[in-house]
Amino acid sequence: MATEIKVPTLGESITEATIGEWLKKPGDPVKVDEPVASLETDKVSVEVPSPVAGVMGQYAAQVGDTVQVGAVIGSVESSAGVPPQVAPAASPAPAPAPAAAPAPAHEEPAGDLTLSPSVRRMVLEHGLDPTQIKGTGKDGRLTKEDVQHAIDTAQSKPAPAPAPAPTPAPAPAQAGERREERVRMTRLRQTIATRLKEAQNTAAMLTTFNDVDMTAVMEARAKYKDLFEKKHGVRLGFMGFFVKAAVQALRDIPAVNGSIEGDEIVYRDYVDVSVAVSAPNGLVVPVVRDAQDLSVAGIEKTIADFGKRAKDGTLKMEEMRGGTFTISNGGVFGSLLSTPIINPPQSAVLGLHRIEERPVVRDGQIVVRPMMYLALSYDHRLVDGREAVTFLVALKNAIEDPTRLLIDL
């Protein structure tokens, strides 16, 4: 009996997906709830579990096909309906070949050579050519000793090494040859392309920059990272500081945390921070909910969990929806400066970059400091330039003096 495998419900407003990969082949055993296929949606990859235990049946959709929610994409055959694998019966041992009848006396292997019966038997048993053996008997006849000496000599010689296979000559390169590879865009990549272009077409997007001295945060991290990891079970990174600093700055400049819906502006008293993390098929943006209520440890734990599950492809749909502000850290890939694109319907995105030692002036002296460029892209329809700059300055002040985060300045 076959049980259908259907596309599961994928989340609010998501009605279709693409077959990304079949994880089981027809005939493979499967357990109940074991993943048999991977679907790509416009947000994340989703695994399709087997509804029953049994044996994987035939596919009803192939990799790359677009399928609707509820569509049948394959089947699982019940174990009871699958005949057991029976080992092939052992073949009876072949009957031993009859011993070769001794050659009649008149059928000597050496033509006109005269061999004694015992010598003839040795020659036949070892497949020797008697004409190639020097006889030491009367009139040059072969003796048993002569044949045995030939046998011993043949066995002592090493087997000839097989001749190496000739190496085929490489195909001559075609002058001016150029190659192309065409790969179908994943649904996630298509959606990223569509949404980013939509943001550019809709928002009046502008980017403002600042830089921040990372000395204080780096010293705090170096001083407390071991105790922090021992107590909380997660590494102390920089994102915890930046999220806390962003939350504080967003309370001062609420427009950066707002959005435009129709002819209305939506202001919020909470902060759901979308954090861009790398996944096998591109960047995904899970949301740290109610970041204003989380400690640095709570933020770091949440982000570390997102990063791990993004690589595993196990992020859930609901974890990707509803962010109010985005932080993207291109610095982990070595980016020095960028102009990030807003993630609609949000009105702003903060770009972090690599930390680089640069000469700066402090108290009239040129000193070297670990500096990072900050970039805030914002929707100028909602956020004025003054507000964008004020937000970045507040963020910069909090990072350069983390005590501000503790006393709410």
Q: Please tell me whether residues 339 and 210 are part of one structural domain.
A: yes
Q: Which residue has the higher pLDDT, 271 or 315?
A: 271
pLDDT band at 86 (very low <50, low <70, confident <90, very high): very low
Q: Residue 316 sits in a domain of what CATH number?
A: 3.30.559.10
pLDDT band at 121 (very low <50, low <70, confident <90, very high): low
- State the pLDDT at residue 240: 94
Element containing residue 125 per DSSP (H, E): helix 117-126
Q: Is the pLDDT of residue 110 over 50?
A: no
- State the pLDDT at residue 113: 57
Q: Is the pLDDT of residue 126 over 80?
A: no
Q: Please tell me whether residues 20 and 130 are part of one structural domain.
A: no
Mean pLDDT value across residues 135-159: 74
Q: Residue 62 sits in a domain of what CATH number?
A: 2.40.50.100
Give this prediction's pTM: 0.63
Across all residues in the chain, what is the average pLDDT?
Answer: 83
Instruction: Judge contact between 239 and 327, C-beta under 8 A.
Output: yes
Q: Please tell me whether residues 16 and 126 are part of one structural domain.
A: no
Q: Please tell me whether residues 203 and 334 are part of one structural domain.
A: yes
What whole-number distance in Å separates Cα of residue 224 and Cα of residue 245?
Answer: 19
Within-domain flag for 94:
no
What whole-number distance in Å separates Cα of residue 206 and Cα of residue 386?
Answer: 12
Q: Please tell me whether residues 203 and 59 are part of one structural domain.
A: no
Domain boundary among 25, 56, 79: 79
Q: Which residue has the higher pLDDT, 21 or 41?
A: 21
Within-domain flag for 86:
no
Within-domain flag for 336:
yes
Lowest mean pLDDT among 49-63, 171-185, 224-238, 250-264: 171-185
Domain count, the chain: 3
Mean pLDDT value across residues 264-276: 94
Q: Is the pLDDT of residue 43 over 70?
A: no
Q: What angle separates helix 117-126 from helix 144-156, to the nearest 10 degrees?
A: 20
Catalytic residue among 290, 293, 312, 384: 384
Within-domain flag for 154:
no
Instruction: Judge contact between 295 and 353, C-beta under 8 A.
Output: no
Percent of the chain past pLDDT 90, that is, above it, reads 48
Strand, helix or coil for residue 364: coil
- State the pLDDT at residue 407: 67
- State the pLDDT at residue 177: 84
Q: Please tell me whether residues 324 and 379 are part of one structural domain.
A: yes
Mean pLDDT value across residues 295-323: 88
Within-domain flag for 379:
yes
Q: Please tell me whether residues 71 and 128 are part of one structural domain.
A: no
Catalytic residue among 129, 312, 380, 401: 380
Instruction: Judge contact between 344 and 197, C-beta under 8 A.
Output: no
What whole-number distance in Å separates Cα of residue 322 and Cα of residue 328?
Answer: 16
Q: Please tell me whether residues 133 and 195 are part of one structural domain.
A: no
Mean pLDDT value across residues 251-271: 94
pLDDT band at 196 (very low <50, low <70, confident <90, very high): confident
Q: Is the pLDDT of residue 105 over 60?
A: no
Within-domain flag for 25:
yes
- State the pLDDT at residue 5: 92
Whose CA is closest to 41, among 158, 190, 260?
Answer: 190
380 is catalytic: yes
Q: Which residues are paired to 371 by β-bridges?
A: 213, 356
Is 86 exposed, middle or buried (CB count within 10 Å of its CB: 0-12, 13-18, 19+)?
Answer: exposed
Percent of the chain past pLDDT 70, that is, above it, reads 81
Q: Which domain holds residue 62?
A: 2-79
Q: Please tell me whether residues 268 and 397 are part of one structural domain.
A: yes
What whole-number distance in Å separates Cα of residue 405 and Cα of residue 242?
Answer: 10
Within-domain flag for 293:
yes
Q: Dihedral sign, CA of 365, 366, 367, 373?
A: positive
Is 17 exposed, middle or buried (CB count within 10 Å of its CB: 0-12, 13-18, 19+)?
Answer: buried
Q: Please tell me whether residues 9 and 128 are part of one structural domain.
A: no
Lowest mean pLDDT among 46-50, 159-163, 226-230, 389-393: 159-163
384 is catalytic: yes
pLDDT band at 157 (very low <50, low <70, confident <90, very high): low
Query: How far apart are the two ends of the chain, measured CA to CA in Å?
Result: 68
Within-domain flag for 92:
no
Q: Please tell me whether residues 8 and 139 are part of one structural domain.
A: no
Q: Please tell me whether residues 314 and 226 are part of one structural domain.
A: yes
Cα separation values, 259 from 16, 225, 264, Å: 28, 37, 8
